Amino acid sequence: MTLLELRFYPIKGKQDCFKVSVEGSLGEVHHEAGLPFLDSETPDVQDRRFTVVKILESTHFKEDNFSEDEQAWMVREQLLLPEQNAFEPEYLATIGRKLYQLLGKDIQLVIEAAVAEAKRDRIFLHIRLRFPAEDPKPVRITDYPWELLHNQYGFLAHQGVTFSRYIAYPSPRPNLPGVERLNVLLISSGAGDERIGLKSLPAVEGDAIANGLQQAQEQGKIQLEILESATLKALRRRLSERQTSAVPQVLHFDGHGFFGKRCNQVGCRKAISMNNWVINVGETGNRRQKAEGRSKGVRFRSKV
């Protein structure tokens, strides 16, 4: 396997673009790109990132999950059929091509040369997506589905390419001692709320993770533990049990924490009249972000 690292950077003083670089055979290549998925025709709405998130988390198109403005934008971007009853057959490829075009021709040449070399040597190419630890909210480069990168031959993921994400924290990595068996703690939120009658999402992904690690568990290389109550309080309680339970070396956080809720605060009244929603991001923080939607209880599954 060979490694190619794409580095993403915000540009100081600019909120509508970012910089990406990669190390090629002739040195480092840079490109300044504008943000994708912008909406220039809808008043007061410019960024359609959350619309794309909802599209990617939908198994099929449901009209109630998207506002009229969102649907109109999706038709213009060739993500939704003109009849507005189903996604375009190539909607994922359309998203991937748009992201690939943003990288610029010079970076595309570096990527395609690396793909060709990996195919020639019959090895995998691993593209590591490197993001800064401080990702400014107006830009949020990490929100985009870069794993869908699509060139003229198809998705890169179908051409022997694997992806990973790396957050470049400035502090050095801790020098941890080696262990014979890794203790993995899986925290998977079902994003349910009994108080309002919202049922939890099915445990499909948690089951898939457990099945994927089953062989390693049988070989004694991994011990998987699932946190039954995926709350901050339960996590703190579990991590404080150092004397009675195995200390986890790996925390696998499968985070599903986006809820569509009306905001009844004074400052949100204008947003409500515009048919907007306020999204609460989990119980681990007080951050709030706007997203469009018409259906109360819309949920966005977002891997963290």
To the nearest 10 degrees (0 to 180), the angle between helices 91-102 and 49-56 is 140
| 114 assigned to some structural domain | yes
Q: Domain count of the chain?
A: 2
Same domain? 14 vs 153:
yes
What pLDDT, on the 0 to 100 scale, is given for residue 284? 32
Same domain? 204 vs 234:
yes
CA distances to 146, 148, 212 from 208, rounded to whole Å, are 23, 21, 6
How many other CB atoms sit within 10 Å of the CB of residue 33? 18
What pLDDT, on the 0 to 100 scale, is given for residue 303? 39
Identify the segments of the chain with pLDDT beneath 70: 45, 135-139, 242-245, 255-304
| 225 assigned to some structural domain | yes
Same domain? 191 vs 100:
no
What pLDDT, on the 0 to 100 scale, is given for residue 198? 73
| 45 assigned to some structural domain | no
To the nearest 10 degrees (0 to 180), the angle between helices 68-76 and 49-56 is 80
What pLDDT, on the 0 to 100 scale, is given for residue 244? 60
| 282 assigned to some structural domain | yes
What pLDDT, on the 0 to 100 scale, is given for residue 290? 33
Domain that holds residue 224: 182-300
What pLDDT, on the 0 to 100 scale, is given for residue 150? 97
What pLDDT, on the 0 to 100 scale, is given for residue 245? 63
What pLDDT, on the 0 to 100 scale, is given for residue 255? 67
pLDDT one-digit tens code per residue, 195-230? 777 777 777 778 888 888 899 999 999 999 988 887
Same domain? 31 vs 118:
yes
Phi, psi of 222 (to 5 degrees): -140, 140
Q: Give the Cα separation of 285 and 26 in Å (integer).
A: 44
Where in the chain does DSSP place strands (E)?
2-10, 17-24, 27-34, 125-132, 150-151, 154-155, 161-168, 182-188, 222-226, 250-254, 258-261, 276-281, 288-292, 299-300
pLDDT one-digit tens code per residue, 77-120? 999 999 999 999 999 999 999 999 999 999 999 999 999 999 99
